[in-house]
């Protein structure tokens, strides 16, 4: 009986110490992680909207309202819009940088979508992706360039194709990674819907 109590106390102390150490590690690393995340988002904003000289929070962004908007389309069931920045050029609002997350083949993909006030997709820049090496991980090489300086489609929808037709309103799928392609394309389309609903014409 005494031995059992002794072992239980030892286990309790070990668990207590381990928990305390984990707490300390979390507190020590929390701020550096936050800073690195902020830097990655800032870089993505700039890559998606190179002409901007400053990015400011869009005061009209409402997460619940945005989720309700996307809930109306089944293609957006695995998409979220995480935040919106006003892209300013020398102090004048010029467009927006919209941060989007969409569920890919194996994990969430997060990126920034740049849109100008006059209806142009400036580009997208991936913040985080963890897809299959050699397939979905080719998104930066295959998908990102397809969204550089293209007009927003009249129906607010880019379609995925496997035939490489080079039509501006279609997105050529990554070979062997249609799920990744669709995830990003659906996310872009969700961003276009948000833009058309709340931002079109330069709403501030």
8 Å CB contact between 142 and 167: no
Q: Which of 102, 172, 158 is nearest to 130 (CA)?
A: 102
Task: Give residue limits of the domains in the chain.
Answer: 48-199
Mark the ranges of the chain whose per-residue pLDDT is less than 50. 204
Q: What is the pLDDT of residue 1?
A: 66
**Distance between CA atoms of 55 and 20, rounded to whole angstroms?**
39
Query: CB neighbours (10 Å) of residue 109?
Result: 23
In the prediction, which pLDDT does 22 show? 72
- Residue 141 phi, psi dihedral angles, 5° rounding: -80, -35
Rounded to the nearest 5°, which phi and psi values hold at 189?
-60, -35
pLDDT at 201: 66
Question: Helix (H, G, I), strand (E, B), or coil: what is residue 103?
Answer: strand
H helices present in the chain, as ranges: 2-48, 63-70, 139-142, 178-194
Predicted local confidence at residue 94, as pLDDT: 94
pLDDT value at residue 33: 54
> What are φ and ψ of residue 17, in 5° steps?
-65, -45
d(CA 169, CA 184): 14
Q: Which ranges in 137-200 belong to alpha helices (H)?
A: 139-142, 178-194
> Over the stretch 142-164, which tens digit does the pLDDT of each residue have?
999 999 999 999 999 999 998 87
Average pLDDT, the chain: 88
Distance CA 34, CA 42 (A): 12
pLDDT digits (tens, 9 = 90+) for 105-124: 989 999 999 999 988 999 99
Q: How is residue 70 written in tokens?
A: 């996307």
Cα separation, 82 vs 6, whole angstroms: 51
The pLDDT value given to residue 108? 96
Distance separating alpha carbons of residues 80 and 201, to the nearest angstrom: 23
């Amino acid at each position: 009986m005494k031995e059992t109590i002794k072992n239980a106390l030892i286990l309790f102390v070990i668990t207590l110490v381990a928990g305390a150490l984990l707490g300390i590690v979390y507190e020590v690393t929390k701020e550096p992680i936050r800073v690195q995340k902020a830097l990655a988002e800032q870089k993505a904003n700039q890559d998606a909207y190179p002409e901007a000289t400053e990015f400011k929070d869009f005061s009209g962004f409402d997460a619940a309202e945005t989720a309700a908007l996307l809930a109306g389309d089944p293609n957006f069931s695995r998409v979220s819009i995480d935040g919106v920045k006003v892209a300013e050029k020398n102090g004048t609002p010029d467009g927006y940088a919209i941060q989007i997350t969409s569920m890919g083949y194996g994990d969430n993909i997060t990126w920034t979508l740049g849109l100008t006030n006059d209806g142009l997709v400036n580009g997208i820049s991936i913040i985080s992706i963890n897809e299959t090496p050699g397939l979905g991980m080719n998104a930066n090489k295959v998908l990102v360039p397809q969204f550089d300086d293209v007009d927003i489609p009249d129906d607010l929808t880019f379609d995925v194709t496997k035939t490489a037709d080079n039509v501006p309103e279609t997105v050529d799928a990554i070979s062997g990674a249609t799920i990744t392609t669709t995830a990003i394309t659906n996310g872009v389309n969700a961003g276009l819907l948000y833009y058309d609903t709340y931002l079109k014409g330069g709403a501030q």
